[in-house]
Chain A
């Protein structure tokens, strides 16, 4: 049937298809352009930036902006570049992702396979955590961190990210575990396995896909966070986003756009890398979070 249609309208069809490709590729250029400009700018020296345009090519590859952005540029009063903050981010992200993923897996397991009175209500209540504007918890959280003596520490930031990330991780795991038949858990209980044995031996081995999705989602969320970072971190525990913002807004003398751009790329690199390496799971996480979150 479609063959017939094609034969009749093949002339018009061809024109339309060319237009379609032009449109799609044009948009692709628009999406790609900012990154290309960033990259080009980061490789120029200040003089070239002043004389050239956004898209003019650097005369020679000059990586000095990169090395300055990495360990020399001033972020506020410090002038150590992005490096220390880059590692700060990892110190926050790794434990926060690990803990929130583990908690989410356990919660999802309970909500789908060990329902008790109130577990569904609990889940609904938790979902609200995915939606609230965090401004509404900033002030009390700041006080609480102060009382606990972990204000301005990495521990404090990890805690905050876990508390507000666990709603999402629970949602992910719950939706996934919902599709595991309840009979599987029943059979294991009759076989004599307990709560954790079933989790570890039966549920976890089939959870790899959702673990990957959750870890990627949490990693990008926490790495890219700015609000909690700026509100709850100290000078020496700032995450990379806060440092980048400071670097860009610190202006002694002339603006060094090449350094800004290099620093921005450095800050974006880990999540971009994850996206390139595991894009499929990244998209799945985004859409999974979107379906109900």
Chain B
């Protein structure tokens, strides 16, 4: 019996030593150190590095000859960049709006105690599991101007049906929208469905007792309470849009000409294949600016929200 007590107390021999000095107390910091170093270097360090490069006239290799805002000037004089930017506007805007609309609609529809809800949900969401490269490859075939949907519709009897957006410089950007919506709208649906399931059931019951119709209940009570989900979805979708690179690479490769380029592809092309490192860095910084313009208000409101709780 006493042996146990003695054993139990044996650890106490180290008592009196300041905790700060023992390895055990440093453990949390040691464990976190690799990630901290990686984050500081590979996120913040590299951001600064890219910022520095964007002020140099680096071409094939980084040089550190500073040229002020020359690269940014060149960038915004560059027709291809302006096309990429306006494509991003069109693509991003439509992509986000349609995804939100479809996502909300499908989520509400699925929320009506649907039979086989699980199976339908699975079908809506599976595109999110696959790579944008696969999506691009598939839609490239579906939208093929001669052999794709056009031919199918003609066979169905619509003799005059024409669908050649993929080869039309003015319309090709909408092909990107179609493919991207196909891939991501199910995810928005899943977000909203989760949100709907989290809405307080008693609140809905109270509204119905007050005589509100199903439609009114959704419009006035449920959807307003999903504001945070809207916000998250908006941020994620714009993030996907700004980063979109693989979809363009697989679906249009920027063509015809450079009519379907997005900033991400512009950046990659100039930095890695066209030996215009300075210009590529400048375009990357503009992209970062776009993301921050969306992110900072979002994080600000999130943090404020947390403090309010």
Contact = CB atoms under 8 A, between A and B. Distances in A.
13 contacts: A116-B29, A122-B36, A125-B44, A126-B35, A135-B284, A138-B272, A164-B42, A224-B131, A224-B133, A225-B131, A226-B131, A275-B126, A290-B236
Main SS class of interface, B: helix
B250 A248 contact: yes
Residue in A111, A138, A279 with the greatest tally of chain B CB atoms within 10 Å: A138
Main SS class of interface, A: helix
Interface stretch (B71-79, B90-98, B108-116): B108-116
Interface stretch (A32-40, A147-155, A176-184, A207-215): A32-40
Size category of the binding interface on chain B: 35 or more
A133 B137 contact: no
A127 B43 CA distance: 10
A118 to B, nearest CB: 9
Contacts of B190: 283, 286-287
A177 B157 CA distance: 60
A103 B72 CA distance: 38
Interface in A105-151: 106-107, 110-111, 114, 116, 119, 122, 125-129, 131-143
Contacts of A75: none
A215 to B, nearest CB: 14
Given A27-B106, A163-B42, A286 B264 contact: no
B249 A224 contact: no
B133 A226 contact: yes
Contacts of B297: none
Nearest to B24: A194
A139 B299 CA distance: 27
A32 B245 CA distance: 24
Given A132-B291, A272-B129, A125 B39 contact: yes
A129 B287 contact: no
Interface in A3-54: 17, 20-21, 23-25, 27-28, 30-32, 34-35, 37-38, 41, 49-50, 53-54
Contacts, number: 252
A137 B236 contact: no
Residue in B208, B242, B245 with the greatest tally of chain A CB atoms within 10 Å: B245
B82 interface: no
Contacts of B112: 17, 20
Nearest to B186: A31
Interface in B13-29: 24, 27-29
A77 B18 CA distance: 65
A34 B38 CA distance: 40
Interface in A273-290: 274-276, 279, 282-283, 286-287, 290
A28 B124 contact: yes
B38 A292 contact: no
B5 interface: no
B131 A271 contact: yes
A32 to B, nearest CB: 6
A223 B133 CA distance: 11
Residue in A54, A126, A142, A166 with the greatest tally of chain B CB atoms within 10 Å: A54
Contacts of A106: 31-32
Given A31-B126, A140-B49, A126 B39 contact: yes
Contact of B149 (A54, A126, A245): A54
B80 interface: no
A167 B245 contact: no
A245 B232 CA distance: 31
B50 interface: yes
A84 B260 CA distance: 31
A218 interface: no
A241 B126 contact: no
Given A103-B35, A224-B131, A241-B133, A135 B267 contact: yes
Contact of A195 (B28, B129, B130): B28
Contacts of B277: 139
Contact of A139 (B236, B271, B287): B271
